[in-house]
Amino acid sequence: MQEIYLDNGATTRPSDGVIAKMTEAMAQAYGNPSSLHRKGQQAEKYVEEARKIIAQYLGVDPTTLYFTSGGTECSNTAILGAAQRNLRRGKHILTVRGEHPATSEPLKLLASQGYEVEYVENDEQGKVCLESLKEKLRPDTILVTCLHVNNETGVIQPIEAMGKIIKEGNPETLFHVDAVQSFAKLPVKPVEWKVDFLSSSAHKFHGPKGIGCLYIRRGLTVQPFIRGGGQEKKMRSGTENVPGIAGMGQAVKEAMEDLQGHTQQVQHLKMHLYQQIINKIPDVKVNGPTPEDGAAHVLNLQFLNVRSEVLLHSLEDYGIFISSGSACASNKPEEKSPALSAIGLNRNEMDQSVRFSFSRYNTMEEMDQTAEALAKVVPMLRRYVRRNR
Partner 1 sequence: MHNGLLVKYGEIAIKGNNRHQFENLLIRNIKEKLAKVGTYKVSKEQGRIFIEPENGSSIDDIIAPLQKVFGIIGLCPASVFTDDSMESICEQTIAHLKEDYGENPAPVTFKVEARRANKKYPLNSLQIAAEVGSKILEAFPNWSVDVHHPQVTVWTELRNRVYVFSKVIPGLGGMPVSSHNKAALLLSGGIDSPVAGWMIAKRGVELCAIYFHAHPYTTDRAKDKVVELARRVSEYSGRINLYVVPFTDIQLDIYDRCPQDQLTIIMRRIMMRISEKIAEKEGAMALITGENLGQVASQTLQSMYCTNEVCTMPVYRPLIGFDKQEIVEIAQKIDTFETSILPYEDCCTIFVAKHPETKPKLESIKKSETHLTDIEAAIEKAVNDSEIIKLRLGEVLE
**16 forms bridges with which residues in the sheet?**
none
Q: What are phi and psi of 304, to 5 degrees?
A: -55, 135
Q: Which is nearer to partner 1, 36 or 329 (CB)?
A: 329
Q: Does 382 bind partner 1 (CB under 8 A)?
A: no
CA quadruple 185, 189, 193, 198: dihedral sign: positive
Work out how close the CB of 328 gets to partner 1 at its nearest, in angstroms, rounded to a whole number: 5
Minimum distance from residue 367 beta carbon to partner 1 (Å): 21
Q: How far apart are CA 172 and CA 359, in angstroms?
A: 38
> Does 1 contact partner 1 by CB under 8 A?
no
Alpha helices in 257-353 (DSSP H): 259-280, 308-316, 333-336, 338-342, 347-351
Only one of the segments 46-54, 243-251, 252-260, 326-334 lies at the binding site for partner 1 (rule: CB under 8 A); that segment is 326-334
> How large is the angle between the packed helices 364-383 and 259-280, nearest 10 degrees?
30
Q: Is 328 in the site for partner 1 (CB under 8 A)?
A: yes
Quote the least distance from Cβ 134 to partner 1, whole Å.
42
Smallest CA-to-CA distance from 4 within 351, 344, 322 is with: 322
Q: What is the dihedral of CA 218, 223, 226, 229, to 10 degrees?
A: 70
- Comparing CB distances to partner 1, the nearer of 296 and 378 is 378
CA nearest to 141, candidates 121, 168, 122:
168
Does position 88 interact with partner 1 (CB under 8 A)? The reply is: no
Please state the closest distance from residue 333 (CB atom) to partner 1, in A: 14
Secondary structure letter of residue 136 according to DSSP: H
Q: How many binding residues for partner 1 (CB under 8 A)?
A: 18
- Note whether 37 binds partner 1 by CB under 8 A: no
Our finding on whether 388 is near partner 1 (CB under 8 A) is yes
Q: Which stretch binds partner 1 (CB under 8 A): 221-229, 292-300, 309-317, 364-372?
A: 309-317
Is residue 375 within the footprint of partner 1 (CB under 8 A)?
Answer: no
Least separation, in Å, of the C-beta of 327 and partner 1? 7
Among this protein's residues, is 213 annotated catalytic?
no
Nearer to partner 1, 37 or 389 (CB): 389
Q: Pick from 131, 293, 316, 365: which binds partner 1 (CB under 8 A)?
A: 316
**359 vs 113, 206, 282, 295, CA distance in Å?**
40, 9, 26, 12
| Binder among 307, 336, 355, 360 for partner 1 (CB under 8 A) | 307
Catalytic pick from 74, 129, 213, 328? 328
Q: In angstroms, give the least distance from the CB of 107 to partner 1.
A: 25
According to DSSP, the β-strands at 4-5 and 284-286 are unpaired
Task: Please list, in sequence order, all residues whose beta carbon lies within 8 angstroms of the beta carbon of residue 162, skipping any fewer than 6 positions away.
Answer: 128, 130, 133, 144, 146, 175
Asked if residue 385 binds partner 1 (CB under 8 A), the reply is: yes
Q: Are residues 170 and 205 in contact, defined by beta-carbon separation less than 8 angstroms?
A: no
Look at residues 363, 319, 359 and name the one whose alpha carbon lies nearest to residue 18.
Answer: 359
Q: Between 184 and 315, whose beta carbon lies closer to partner 1? A: 315
Q: Judged by CB, which is closer to partner 1: 199, or 308?
A: 308
Residue with Cβ nearer partner 1 (311 or 367): 311
Q: How far is CA 301 from the centre of its chain?
A: 19
Give the catalytic positions in this structure: 328
Q: Which residues bind partner 1 (CB under 8 A)?
A: 307, 309-314, 316-317, 327-329, 384-389
